Structure 1
Amino acid sequence: MRKRATVICRRGNRILLVARRTKWALPGGMLKRGEHLSDAALRELKEETRLSGKSAKFLFHHRGRQKHHHVFFCDVAKSAKPRASNEISRCRWVHVSDVSRLATSSPTKVIVKALGGAHRGKR
């Protein structure tokens, strides 16, 4: 099973999502050879949204059908504006309660649901 660093960026009750083609997903991607998971999380966040995470804090694992997601929380500057780059077409802040109604990957829905109140109220 392939390892994937998956990133949660949160501002109040909103999280950052990225779109590849028609589906929304959490930022993230596969590890490069010899790369640490937390480094991969920060690299993927920067590659996809041009945001620099201050750190990557491990939250939990999620085993999908094809990938093993290592989920990290990345804190970004409040004033930072995400801009789509690399392999994504769009990115935006989405209210957590709206994620279940969006066209997303199934791991995204499960991971966001599992978050629950893990970082509720933190900015």
Structure 2
Amino acid sequence: MKERATVVCWQRGRILLVERGRARWSLPGGTIRRAEAPADAALRELNEETTLEGCELGYLFQFGGLNKRHHVFFSVLHDDARPVPSNEILRCRWFRPQKVSTLITSVPTREIVNLLFGHDVQRPAPVRA
């Protein structure tokens, strides 16, 4: 099973999604390298995809399917944090959580956002390990 680090970035009532192509939105993140800690992978991928640095992460949960296991992290970004698409990313955009269900997204993105926010659009509290 492939291991993936996924980051839910929160700023002013919105979450950050990135577009990798094919007009499909997803949460920032990517594959965890061999011997890399999930939190390190989350920070690396977030920086590679959005140029965001120095973000504090809280671990939320694992989300898994048949082929991938997502280690999901949460970060509250400062109001002045501005993601810029980098690497394989075409666009970065902020969305209200309830809007995600109307977008073309990856299945894990839609399910992770639903697990976190459901009908409640309040910011979840990160779980500290």
Give TM-score scaled by structure 2 length.
0.87
2:113 is the alignment partner of 1:115: no
- Structure 1 distance, partners of 2:59, 2:121, is 12
Residue 5 of structure 2 corresponds to 5
CA RMSD of aligned residues (A): 1.8
- Structure 2 distance, partners of 1:41, 1:3, is 11
Identical columns (%): 50
With 40-49 and 68-77 compared, the bigger mean Cα shift is at 68-77
Q: Which residue type is aligned with residue 6 of structure 1?
A: T
The answer (yes or no) to whether the contact 1:5–1:71 under 8 Å persists in 2 is: yes
- Structure 1 distance, partners of 2:106, 2:42, is 18
Give TM-score scaled by structure 1 length.
0.91
Residue 70 of structure 2 corresponds to 69
Write out aligned runs for 1:24-103 (5 A).
Answer: 24-103=25-104
- How many residues align structurally? 122
Runs of 4+ in 1 over 3 A off after TM superposition: none
Unaligned runs of 5+ in 2: none
- Structure 1 distance, partners of 2:38, 2:124, is 26
